[in-house]
Amino acid sequence: MIPVELTLTPEQGGVSSLARQIKLSGRAYPLFEVAGLVMQKPDRYTVGFRVIKHRDEASKRDVAVQPLFVCNLDDTLWLNEDAAAEHALKAHFETFYQTQKMPCDPPKGVWTLVAQCGMTGELLGPPNFHGYQEKLRKLHAERFSRMNFDMYKSRVKIVKDEAIVKQWTESVSFRFEYTALNVPEPKVLQSMDEVRSHFAEVHQASFIKQVDSFTPKADAKLPAALQTLLRVSLDKEKRFPIRIATALSNTFASMGLQFFKRDKTVVHVAVARPHYLDVETSVVSETTKKIIEHINTNLGTNRKRLVETLAPSPAPVEAAVEGGAAPAPTPLTTEQQAVLNDLHWLIHQGHVIEFASGMLETAKKPAPRPTPAPKAPRKGDKQPAASEANPAEANPAEANPAETTSAPATEAVSADDIAASLAQEAPAAEAAPEHPTDSSEPTPENPPEKAPEAV
């Protein structure tokens, strides 16, 4: 693989839209699933290339292992300066030079046969003509350099048709002159070799630039080696979008979103980090206490079941509907709106987590920090009695009664630790997604249409 780094950056407008949807829905989404949504469509991310540098001990400078060059005329990317210059000259020839067809004397002699390229049909001239060998080698170098010259030469045909011979005679009865444009003084060049030398001397430094990084256009044609790098990298990223996920984490963090790890494995993005609420010691409403109790006692519950349990809807009133139209939706009762208001507050404070599947879960009580081990006594110090040195040893249960409690299901993660956390997900993510989202449940691409009606 070519030693060039490929970069993937989510499209800024799309990321901002995702962040707004996450904030409106209040749900927690696996970061890798969000990254997978970005990778589904090419217009949701941009591709760039960056050189890889190494230290040159001779010059004491960092130099590119594989340099990159850009043609400023059309923003195309190239792997060497000569290829970029050849492209600029071929694609924008009329910008720099004007071609004139000038008559000249036809070749002397009687010609009865000509050689013709067996693959392109181009006429090369009689084998005993003075320019034959030069033209043969030039065509091979320009069009078939990967083929052995002797093999290419064996493909050349000898044609004795009078019309073909006449066609070749007419083609060499004129020559081309090239007048340089956009220069202080007009200059006439007699051959393409002179044109290339003139372009390299006068224009190349202005239009061909070496760069450390570059983002080509979406439909730009790339050299074969960069095309291969792009294809292989995108295939890997679609299976495990580590680069997009890392870029998303940095952008989401700057927009105020928070991160946490569920079951110490999968990184989620949400409006708030999990924050345990002790309803026994905190001053909260009775509705809030009931919400916490319902979620803790009903594993896998969701918003709809919560509302119907705490504030059941009144029995529907049968009424005739004109034209057989569907009945209007029943408006929320005052009690149901109160439940939604408290749930909205709990979610945005991190006390309750609503996952992408709709499942509700409360933030768990954090495990106590382990007691630090006592320092080893220095030589000559008086050894204290066992009960005085560490009273907890006599009754460890009293010293740390919560030490036997289970670890929390969620763990806050800072934005700086996201890259390391994402890398740890690689084996699990490549095997299977941990929390598959039901197709009927909303995702960041299609979240609930609006937040709860009241905040």
pLDDT digits (tens, 9 = 90+) for 304-329: 999 999 989 887 666 555 555 566 67
156-160, 233-237, 363-367: least confident range: 363-367
User: Which residue from 245, 107, 244, 110 is spatially nearest to 174, judged by alpha carbons?
Assistant: 107
Distance separating alpha carbons of residues 294 and 26, to the nearest angstrom: 19
Mean pLDDT of 32-54: 92
Structure confidence at residue 201 (pLDDT): 92
Cα(336)–Cα(332) distance, rounded to whole angstroms? 6
Label residue 170 by pLDDT band (50, 70, 90).
confident
Which segments of 11-159 are extended strands (E)?
Answer: 27-30, 45-51, 53-56, 61-64, 68-71, 76-78, 97-103, 114-116, 123-125, 157-159
Backbone angles phi, psi at 412, to 5 degrees: -65, 145
What is the mean pLDDT of the segment spanning 271-296? 92
Per-residue pLDDT for 291 more than 90? yes
- Return the domain boundaries, the chain: 1-91+193-270+408-437, 92-192, 275-313+333-365
- Position 450 confidence tier, pLDDT thresholds 50, 70, 90: very low
Q: What is the CATH code for 275-313+333-365?
A: 1.10.10.10
Report pLDDT for 422: 63
Give pLDDT tens digits for 116-139.
Answer: 998 888 888 888 888 888 888 888
pLDDT beyond 90 at 34 = yes
CB–CB of 70/220 below 8 Å?
no
Is the distance from CB of 280 to CB of 442 less than 8 angstroms? Answer: no
pLDDT band at 418 (very low <50, low <70, confident <90, very high): low
Global confidence as pTM: 0.66
Q: Please report which helix (H) or strand (E) contains residue 139, including its range.
A: helix 132-143
Q: How confident is the model at residue 368 (pLDDT cuts 50, 70, 90)?
A: confident
Instruction: Give the pLDDT mean for 364-374.
Output: 81
Tell me the per-residue pLDDT of 14-29, one tens digit each, with 9 for 90 and over: 899 999 999 998 999 9
